[in-house]
Amino acid sequence: DEHYNRCSFVIAGSGPSVAHTAVALASSALEQIDLSSHSSSHPRIGVVDHISIAPLADEGGVHLEEAAATALSVGEGLAGMGGVGLPVLLYGAAHPEGRTLAQTRRLTSYFTKDGCSGDTAVEPTAIDLGPKEVDPSRGVCCCG
């Protein structure tokens, strides 16, 4: 999206293939983008700041529990990526308490005046997976 200087992907498939592809895309983005030199008119908290896993169907297809397991698998993949890892904040069914995306983002600078600056401030206790220290060039990811 040229106006927001960001893009989105939709990936459909089995849980394991979606998780593998999401982590591979995130890894590629993290290799190529430095958030500290990125500009945008849209708030962001990371190079890959949001990954949402949702079931396409509930009848005979992927159920919410399976989507949550896939989101957790993605989060674990991001957290352990490249020996450095990316801090991950879980939300929705992937979070033990079902924290919403809005509640999760409120634990970061997303809704503040610094949200468009690429400020990656986050409460360390809010990080569910990965390193507790945030690399400003990479930021954090909300995954659920």
CATH code, domain with 121: 3.30.990.10
Query: What is the side-by-side order of every strand in the sheet holding 141-143?
Result: 50-51, 141-143, 88-90
Q: How many whole angstroms separate alpha carbon 137 and alpha carbon 135?
A: 5
Q: Is residue 116 part of a domain?
A: yes
Which residues does residue 5 pair with via DSSP β-bridges, in sequence order? Answer: none
Indicate the pTM of the whole model: 0.85
Q: Please report where in the chains the tokens 């591979």 appear, as a residue.
A: 24
Q: Is residue 34 part of a domain?
A: yes
Q: Is residue 7 part of a domain?
A: no
Q: Is residue 3 part of a domain?
A: no
Q: Is residue 1 part of a domain?
A: no
Q: How many whole angstroms separate alpha carbon 7 and alpha carbon 26?
A: 12
pLDDT of residue 39: 58
pLDDT of residue 26: 93
pLDDT of residue 107: 85
Q: Is residue 37 part of a domain?
A: yes
Q: Is residue 2 part of a domain?
A: no
Q: Is residue 8 part of a domain?
A: no
Tens-binned pLDDT, residue by residue, of the chain (144 aa): 566 566 778 888 899 999 999 999 999 999 988 877 655 555 667 889 899 998 877 665 558 889 999 999 999 999 998 777 899 999 999 999 999 999 988 888 665 555 445 556 777 888 999 999 888 888 889 999
Q: How many whole angstroms separate alpha carbon 89 and alpha carbon 144?
A: 8
Phi, psi of 25 (to 5 degrees): -65, -45
Number of domains in the chain: 1
Amino acid code (one letter) for 119 = D
Query: Which residue range forms the structural domain that includes residue 120?
Result: 15-143
Q: How many whole angstroms separate alpha carbon 81 and alpha carbon 141?
A: 13
